[in-house]
Structure 1
């Protein structure tokens, strides 16, 4: 039985692809999996909940300016490498896979120095600093976007796979999902979501959108505010009933536990442009209005969104220009021009890579089989 370490942390965009890859590995053959993350990151909670073993090492990124804090970080990095080597000696992995975040640095560097096969998965068009550095020492780089290859210093290791998506996202059925969520079969459903914590600018703009479309026949605005802004949205709108309905055409929820059903039920989505969310949009063949988060590292969400816009799969609104009127105009245009909507859906589906998780799993197992050859 092959033993595999997966490492990623800091954000859901690094953690959930790792979980998806783990599930795909288990679908191929029996494997023993250990996740490595930081002791206080999201991964320390999510990974045990997913049923996997978890080990932690301290890790943090360098500041962009020369500071005393960077000296302390470098000292901690030396300790992290020692801890990573200890984990490798005890677990004896056949391959180590990183999906992003500072924690990948120590464990993948230690693995490469120990002649253990290594691989990273880069979700975005603009690679993270850690992954660009690690590309010098790992054996493979699995790319979520073809466009990312030119941005890696070592390109011959890069393989375009697409970003892995959960089977539940791909398999959810439209009619069943609408019945589960209480959405009428023929309504034009717009799913609005800015991530688990929400997106304040999107939530603020949506206040005017809800007021404009209130009681519009044949329309459902399904707005996932995130837990942080939910109370404020309810307060600003007023007249939201106990089930979350604002008039007959808007539904306000704080958190959507069953996102596969929400996406399967949707005709159009209004999203940020994180790589994982866009991969799910693509495999569902969903038209989208994208509002990239402007403070993402190196503005990578804007570059992700541009791929979808260039393909004809999405419209994009820059966060600084986001208004209720902009959203109203786009929603009305797409609602009234079903041919345009269908073209966007077809373009989105062409960007999807339903086999990404399985392809990455097979690549990792192929590397694991070469452990003794290094």
Structure 2
């Protein structure tokens, strides 16, 4: 099978595309993949490292207010469609898969104009602007949350598939996660991470919470600050709690996140779609602080979906304090029955077969062409 993948801007769009690509090549080892993105986006760095052929187009997103930049964006879109058609005619894909971000627009639209089957994947509860636009042209849509289905009523083939990142994390070795942290297997620990870049509000709340830690015995914390916040945060915590060195690991970044996540007893962090797919596939309870600085406030909708199911507690950033965060962590880690109940609810939401479901949809669409 020959498949074009496209999606970019953030890891939340890129990693699902890569997970779909891995599933395709695992199921059909002779398959060929081409990733079309922008050289300025993260995909320009991440994708080539995965050994996948990469081609770039030039495109920018629309501003939500009247601006001459939008006129230039329209011109870039037209040029992007032209460039995408050239790449698609050369590669001759059986199907084109878009996972969101404005780079998907010209690629998926060009494929539809050329009669190539197209599938888009929506990671969040509330669809992004690009996927809303592309749903008029795509033959198939795969969604991560059941609540997203009504947004794509025009599409003839909509599947509640889950997020393919959930499939990837299941192969993670939790024992390697414990070992990488220097912890004995089965040590209860709370993983705190504000995303790859860190989250200042979460870091502040964690720092404020440190004096309360003696009240919660026998629980280890792995606190990932983000590289730009690391030195300041680590210094403040050591001054506040010099005796906590054996219970709190402060790290700038974790390179083996799937393994560490698989070993965690509780996750504290943002409500990005890929992270939520991973923790529900693994059945990990969580305390979620959705970022208020995202399009359509989609992280709050993501977090509310888990909270309503009993799999998570949601704290809005405007309400976040160290004492409130500690109270929720203490309630979960101090009550094994409660934690197990949340873990069960989390696992019920998990869709570890997501990549396989999306692969089946791709095959179905390609056979209709």
Which TM-score band applies after superposition, normalised by the shorter structure? over 0.9
Q: Provide the alpha-carbon RMSD of the alignment.
A: 1.8
Residue of structure 2 in register with 1:343 after alignment: 341
Say if 1:42 and 1:245 are closer, same or farther in 2 by CA, change over 3 A: farther
Residue of structure 2 in register with 1:328 after alignment: 326
Give the drift of 1:213.
Answer: 0.9
Say if 1:327 and 1:296 are closer, same or farther in 2 by CA, change over 3 A: same
Is 2:188 the counterpart of 1:188?
yes
Residue of structure 1 in register with 2:202 after alignment: 202
Moved more, 270-279 or 255-264: 255-264
Query: Contact 1:193–1:271 at 8 Å: present in 2 too?
Result: yes
Query: Contact 1:234–1:240 at 8 Å: present in 2 too?
Result: no
**Equivalent runs, 1:1-374 vs 2, <5 Å:** 2-29=1-28, 30-165=30-165, 167=167, 169-185=169-185, 187-213=187-213, 217-238=217-238, 246-371=244-369
CA distance in 1, matches of 2:303, 2:275: 11
- Structure 2: runs of 5+ lacking an equivalent: none
Query: Contact 1:214–1:247 at 8 Å: present in 2 too?
Result: no
Query: Contact 1:214–1:248 at 8 Å: present in 2 too?
Result: no
Give the drift of 1:160.
Answer: 0.6
Query: Contact 1:206–1:324 at 8 Å: present in 2 too?
Result: yes
Give the drift of 1:187.
Answer: 3.6
1:93-123 residue CA offsets vs partner (Å, 9 max, x unmatched)? 1110000000110011011011110010000
Query: How many correspondences in the alignment?
Result: 368
Say if 1:97 and 1:230 are closer, same or farther in 2 by CA, change over 3 A: same
Query: Contact 1:224–1:255 at 8 Å: present in 2 too?
Result: yes
1:281-320 residue CA offsets vs partner (Å, 9 max, x unmatched)? 0001000000000111101000001110111100000011
Say if 1:245 and 1:90 are closer, same or farther in 2 by CA, change over 3 A: farther
Query: Contact 2:189–2:220 at 8 Å: present in 1 too?
Result: yes
Query: Contact 2:267–2:286 at 8 Å: present in 1 too?
Result: yes
TM-score by structure 1 length?
A: 0.94
Query: Contact 1:132–1:153 at 8 Å: present in 2 too?
Result: no
Give the drift of 1:214.
Answer: 5.3
CA distance in 1, matches of 2:198, 2:245: 22
Give the drift of 1:35.
Answer: 0.1
- Structure 1: runs of 5+ lacking an equivalent: none
CA distance in 1, matches of 2:92, 2:244: 56
1:201-236 residue CA offsets vs partner (Å, 9 max, x unmatched)? 001100022332159541101101111111110222
CA distance in 2, matches of 1:259, 1:240: 27
TM-score by structure 2 length?
A: 0.95
Moved more, 182-191 or 15-24: 182-191
